[in-house]
Amino acid sequence: MLIVKKFGGTSVGNPDRIMKIAARCIEDYSRGDDVVVVLSAMDQTTDELIDLAHKVNEKPPKRELDMLLATGEQVSAAMMAMAMDRLGVRAVSLNAFQVPMHTTSRYGSARLKRIDTDRIMHELEDRKIVIVTGFQGVNKYDDFTTLGRGGSDTTAVALAASLHADACEIYTDVDGVYTADPRICPKARKLPEITYDEMLDLSTLGAGVLHNRSVEMAKKYEVRLIVRSSLNRSEGTIVEERVNVEKMLISGVALDKSADRISVIGLRDEPGVAFKLFDVLAKANINIDVILQSIGRDGLKDISFTVSDDDADDAMQLLQDSQTRLHYRDLSINKEVAKLSIVGAGMMSNPGVAAKMFEALYNEDININMISTSEIRVTVLISERDGERAVNAVHDAFGLGEE
């Protein structure tokens, strides 16, 4: 068997934990399995490096930021190889250049394009445990890139797909995927299994337990994905195409506090306006999300939409620069908003799911700013300070908690 095991920042947060993880990986290796380990940077390292960069430059060049951030994962990978050596097992750490892992050019949010597996295969044949730095890649200019925050999950799944691994195990600081973030919803319940589609929506909508690109890739390449704890031996959650348990109406609630709302006020109410507005943002690779357009009045209309806070400043700048072309009157941004979503394949055949969510929010006196729906999800925009209360209220309303 070939297993890819990924450990997040907390799991490799100190030397003691690194020794424990090393021993755990060696268990599989000693059974005869081939083991590839993907690591995040230790604990808060990535945040600290970002803070460090901002001490010398408030807007660090993205290339240099990636150059800096790529060091974090190299520390944990080298430390792990040293720990395994101490335990008497041959191991080798490899960074994105040494693999190599090719990505698109975009610093800060590059996408993996291709992984050369020769070196890894060669090391595995030599009976070594191979430790690979997560989160980083190499672009066509031979520069380091990073895959976006939380991107080590995607490194792991991409490696599992390229190596045709039998499983990709994501070890983290919770026991698996829960019906809501267990840190803000004490009644959240661990799901034994969840479909790729539901997991993809949950992770895109704020459930940070898996990087959304990793789920997309797992679905595409049919990677067997398991999320479990690095601190205990409980079963974890299997992410797969179909689940065996009886389908619940909804499988989870997600909260995304990184959303910001931009409102463009007093646009002309004529054809092509939405196109021109969103084209400006699309050309700059800025993803927009929930959109609300007001009904035209006196020949004018307003369009509001959400963007992630990483993109908000760039989006505002672009729109300001295009004011004469877009002919709007006013532009505003609200950073104190959050997206609250419910996700579940079960809602497709059940009317009234959205109403039930709205009722739960009404009972808590929480105002809804915008609404967007798909076949398997309902998303509302609320005030950020209502976030936790809203998650718990909706979670209770659907009876998702422990009996």
Instruction: Report d(CA 160, CA 218) in Å as an integer.
Output: 9
Of the candidates 150, 137, 30, the residue with the CA atom closest to the CA atom of residue 91: 30
156 lies in the site for ligand ADP, by CB under 6 A: no
Q: What are phi and psi of 390, to 5 degrees?
A: -65, -45
- Other beta carbons within 10 Å of 109: 19
41 lies in the site for ligand ASP, by CB under 6 A: yes
Which one of 112-120, 150-158, 191-199, 291-299 is the stretch in contact with ligand ASP (CB under 6 A)?
A: 150-158
Give residues 4-23 in contact with Mg ion (rule: CB under 5 A).
Answer: 8
145 lies in the site for ligand ASP, by CB under 6 A: no
The tokens of 372 are what?
Answer: 């967007």
150 lies in the site for Mg ion, by CB under 5 A: yes
72 lies in the site for ligand ASP, by CB under 6 A: yes
> Shortest Cβ distance from residue 153 to Mg ion (Å)?
6
183 lies in the site for ligand ADP, by CB under 6 A: yes
Which one of 113-121, 169-177, 217-225, 300-308 is the stretch in contact with ligand ADP (CB under 6 A)?
A: 169-177
Instruction: List the single partner that 398 binds among ligand ADP, ligand ASP, Mg ion, none, CB under 5 to 8 Å by kind.
Output: none
- Position among 151, 206, 236, 252 found at the interface with ligand ASP (CB under 6 A): 151
Which one of 135-143, 204-212, 271-279, 330-338 is the stretch in contact with ligand ADP (CB under 6 A)?
A: 204-212
| The 259-268 sheet, strands edge to edge | 291-293, 300-308, 259-268, 330-334
- Position among 137, 252, 344, 387 found at the interface with ligand ADP (CB under 6 A): 252
Of the candidates 164, 167, 133, 175, the residue with the CA atom closest to the CA atom of residue 151: 133
User: What is the pattern of x (binds ligand ASP, CB under 6 A) and - over residues 98-137?
Assistant: ------------------------------------xx--
> Shortest Cβ distance from residue 250 to ligand ADP (Å)?
12
Instruction: Report d(CA 349, CA 358) in Å as an integer.
Output: 18
Question: How much is the CA Rg of the chain, to the nearest whole Å?
Answer: 23
Of the candidates 101, 210, 102, the residue with the CA atom closest to the CA atom of residue 153: 210
Instruction: Report d(CA 225, CA 219) in Å as an integer.
Output: 9
Instruction: List the single partner that 174 binds among ligand ADP, Mg ion, ligand ASP, none, CB under 5 to 8 Å by kind.
Output: ligand ADP
> Shortest Cβ distance from residue 37 to Mg ion (Å)?
15
Which residue lies nearer to Mg ion by CB, 150 or 252? 150
31 lies in the site for ligand ADP, by CB under 6 A: no
13 lies in the site for ligand ASP, by CB under 6 A: no
Only one residue has tokens 């337990």, namely 209
Q: Which residue is nearest to ligand ADP (CB)?
A: 8
Q: 216-249 b/e with 16+ CB inside 10 Å = b?
A: bbbbeeebebbbbbbeeeeebbbbbeebeeeebb
Q: How many residues bind ligand ADP (CB under 6 A)?
A: 19
Which residue lies nearer to Mg ion by CB, 45 or 304? 45
134 lies in the site for ligand ADP, by CB under 6 A: no
Q: 33-43 b/e with 16+ CB inside 10 Å = b?
A: bbbbbbbbbbb
Q: Give the list of residues 6+ apart from residue 107 with CB closer than 8 angstroms, or none.
A: 62, 63, 65, 66, 139, 143, 145, 146
Which residue lies nearer to ligand ASP by CB, 120 or 209? 209
Q: Within its chain, how far is the Cα of 285 from the centroid?
A: 18
Question: 196-204 and 212-220 helices cross at what angle (nearest 10)?
Answer: 160
Whether residue 127 contacts residue 164, with contact meaning beta carbons closer than 8 Å, is answered with no
Instruction: Report d(CA 267, CA 153) in Å as an integer.
Output: 41
Which residue lies nearer to ligand ASP by CB, 151 or 344? 151
Which one of 201-209, 266-274, 363-371, 374-382 is the stretch in contact with ligand ADP (CB under 6 A)?
A: 201-209
Query: For residue 264, what are the β-bridge partners?
Result: 303, 331
> Shortest Cβ distance from residue 266 to ligand ASP (Å)?
39
- List interacting residues with ligand ASP (CB under 6 A): 8-9, 40-41, 46, 72, 134-135, 149-152
- List interacting residues with ligand ADP (CB under 6 A): 8-11, 40, 150, 172-174, 177-178, 180-183, 207-209, 252
- List interacting residues with Mg ion (CB under 5 A): 8, 150
